[in-house]
A and B are shown apart, each in its own frame.
Chain A
């Protein structure tokens, strides 16, 4: 019974299915017919457009540039497009920043680095309807070659960096096409802080930015930040070279940790293991002992600190200085502070557009400094904090909030964002710090601050092996581990001092940004190893 029943059901089903299938077939046939019709229509249209497109060799996707030919064509830079170039026919390579089609014309904004210009394709004797359509459909961020006439405009174009001219496009060829879907929109990425939330507009998360760093770096803000960073490096090198410093390169794979053993990365090194340098200090000092007198180096520094703060990275660029001095370690402070002041001055005088660009997205007060740099002593700082109601011992280290508060107090009184704090308590400094000759509680060491955050920590180093041994024992450091360090001072060592600055931090604080990842091109922190 059950079998029959089953059979009956299947028959019925088959019948039903066949009915459905019929219907389906019918539908498909209809669809195919429609499709064929559509295709025919499209083909006809295509044919017709092909027929009457007089401008068809004025646009298109050009073949991949494989260096087939070497054209003598001169490409004009967007930043050079000024009213003086009016009515000239020029060639230009740029990215499509935005495009907006409007009936018979299409407005494009062409971008080159931080500069952009408005361009127009309009149906006329040079461009056909099809060309306008093609231009409107080029994906954003694609790279195009454009031949256009420069025209002066009546009204300033507020949205572009080149406000006085626009381009009337006569030819447009796509050199490299971008994917239609971008992981983030450039307009969203440069929206000023806070504005997005108010108007319900999109903003881009820090992580999205960093995951798609290549696109994020194209924003005007990022362009400005990294141009400024390059400026810092350049000014650092120029100033120190002028002062008679020698640039040195130090190894980054080292056999022993220079400061104790904590927070260093271990790497396998053939059959043993080695460490990544957490500071070039030892090598800088060895160069001083080798009579280089004044040295500096620019290179990566590694810190295996698992701290996820706005100002810590596991790899950053260190700008390190070490110099022999004659009689007083203030000679070193003077050299370093003067270098910093020269950097600040150079940035103030030569990078004003970059600073303004960053300020548009991340508003901040201009960086203020004094020349010569203000130097305060640690006891003074403690007194200022006491006066402000902070309870701390004379020999305690500054906590981060106290550091910030002190920065505010100093700013209020002296109106400077950069100052030196001298004579730190000996107890809070590393073992190689020279003690103060007049007061054993204090030391010949100093920190430098920008906008209330520490950027450099330095000191006169102990250059006497006996004293160094004594200090190391006092800090309960295994002498065997630092034997080579102590030994380097056994053959006569000049008195010397120095310090190291983090490039990313300096840029961040100079621009008043709030995260060091913004000033690191491909940041490395405990949670990020890519890109």
Chain B
């Protein structure tokens, strides 16, 4: 039994002449060539007003179509790859909240994520070694600034000396309200310190320090968007993050090339590394590709994706540090 029935496309009156073809369509060009209008024009030397109206209508429709196309393209750019001309500075984050909300879906609540508000600034402290600046965290910081009121401060620990001014200003200029800590929702305190492994401290009583840039990045990204509820998707993001940090950043040339190939094919299938949405995988992979110094010789899809990432406007400080 057939699953469903379709009405015959052609009417029953169509005559089938040739047994080798299933059906035959009249020749469009032949018909046009035979149409009266062109014949008319040629014969009389002047165009029929009806045709003129028709032509005008067609032009109008085409113009409208072009307009629509441009509008859609523009929209597509802001959705997937917002133009680089959009606001890229970190400091003006409070004004340009729209682009982030379109990029990262899902609402997050600091109270549920970080525990009850005790009436004081929730301060995330990150100890990083100036020899290995945690660029992914800088990108995430920039994203956090769009979502929350973040008090960003950079300190130098006494265990290190001579930290470059670039590292001291990596979180952007000082916020004009920074004298009043209680006005902020979140504190982002970066301390340049002689530590073997990057570590993050939040609540020293209830939480052990988080070690490693990848793990801290996971923690911070959860403040921006909830992890995908789909476990497969979540695992995919996780595996890309690990791939980025272990193979892309620290791996051998061979490993790196393999990862770039895999990344290229993944980006051939979807807009972003781990599916149709921008995720932590993109942040991690972008930073690690740049850190590995192979940004110039990457495959085409990766090249396109790097451009798209940069157009988001949050990778500026990271790129500056990596160059």
The smallest beta-carbon distance between B173 and chain A, in angstroms, is 15
Please determine whether B204 and A415 come into contact, CB atoms closer than 8 angstroms.
no
A371-B155, A377-B182, A388-B205 given; 11 more Cβ-contact pairs under 8 Å: A344-B158, A345-B158, A348-B158, A368-B158, A372-B155, A380-B121, A380-B181, A409-B205, A413-B123, A413-B204, A415-B127
User: CB-defined interface of B158-191 with A at 8 Å, one 1/0 digit per residue?
Assistant: 1100000000000000000001111000000101
What B residues does A387 contact at CB under 8 A? 118, 203, 205-206
Interface residues of A in 324-369 (CB under 8 A from B): 328, 330, 344-345, 348, 366-369
Find out whether the CB atom of B158 lies under 8 angstroms from the CB atom of A379: no
A344 to B205, CA, bound (A): 29
Select A415's contact among B120, B121, B191, beta carbons within 8 Å. Answer: B191
B191 touches A414 (CB 8 A): yes
B119 on the A face (CB < 8 A): yes
Partner of A370 from the list B123, B191, B203 (CB cut-off 8 Å) is B191
A123 on interface, CB distance cutoff 8 Å: no
> Does A416 lie within 8 Å of B181, measured CB to CB?
no
A residues in contact (CB < 8 Å) with B: 328, 330, 344-345, 348, 366-372, 374-377, 379-380, 382-384, 386-388, 409, 412-416, 438
Give residues 131-174 of B contacting A (CB, 8 Å): 153, 155-159
* Chain B residues whose C-beta falls within 8 Å of the C-beta of A369 in the assembled complex: 157-158
As a 0/1 sequence over residues 186 to 214 of chain B, the CB contacts with chain A under 8 angstroms (1 = contact) are 00010101000000010111100000000
Residue of A nearest to B159 (CB): A368
Question: Measured between C-beta atoms, what is the minimum distance from A99 to chain B in Å?
Answer: 43
Q: Can you list 13 A-B contacts (CB < 8 A)?
A: A330-B179, A344-B158, A366-B158, A369-B157, A376-B181, A377-B182, A380-B121, A383-B120, A387-B206, A388-B205, A412-B201, A414-B189, A415-B157
**For residue A344, which residues in chain B have a CB less than 8 angstroms away from its CB?**
158
Please measure, in the bound complex, the distance between the C-alpha atom of A379 and the C-alpha atom of B179, giving whole angstroms. 14
B158 contact set on A, CB distance < 8 A: 344-345, 348, 366-371
Q: How far is the CA of A328 from the CA of B178 in the complex (A)?
A: 12
- Contact (Cβ within 8 A) B182 A374: no
- Closest chain A residue, CB of each to CB of B183: A438
- Min C-beta distance of A134 to chain B, whole Å: 52
Please state if B191 and A384 are interface contacts (CB–CB under 8 Å): no
Give the residues in chain B near A388, CB-CB below 8 Å.
205
Q: How far is the CA of A85 from the CA of B156 in the complex (A)?
A: 43
Return chain A residues, CB-CB under 8 Å to B220.
none
Distance A109 CA – B203 CA, assembled complex (angstroms): 55
| A368, B189: Cα distance in complex, Å | 17
With A328-B179, A412-B204 known as contacts, the answer to whether A379 contacts B157 (CB < 8 A) is: no
Complex: A368 Cα to B156 Cα, angstroms = 11
**For the complex, is B103 an interface residue (Cβ under 8 Å from A)?**
no
Please report which residues of chain B, range 16-37, place their CB below 8 angstroms from some CB of chain A when the two chains form the complex. none
Contact A414 B125 (CB under 8 A): yes
Closest 4 CB pairs of A and B: A383-B120, A380-B120, A383-B118, A370-B155
Contacts of A383 in B (CB 8 A): 118-120
Residues in A neighbouring B181, C-beta threshold 8 A: 375-377, 380
Verify A368–B157 contact, CB threshold 8 A.
Answer: yes
A265 shortest CB reach to chain B, Å: 39
Alpha-carbon separation in the docked complex, A101 to B193 (Å): 53
Measured between beta carbons, the chain B residues less than 8 angstroms from A384 are: 120
Cα distance, A388 to B118, chains bound together (Å): 12
Specify which chain A residues have a CB less than 8 angstroms from the CB of B179 in the assembled complex: 328, 330
Q: CA A435 – CA B204 in complex, angstroms?
A: 32
B119: chain A residues within 8 A (beta carbon): 379, 383
- Residue of A375, A376, A383, A415 ringed by the most chain B CB atoms within 10 A: A415
Closest B residue by C-beta to A388: B205
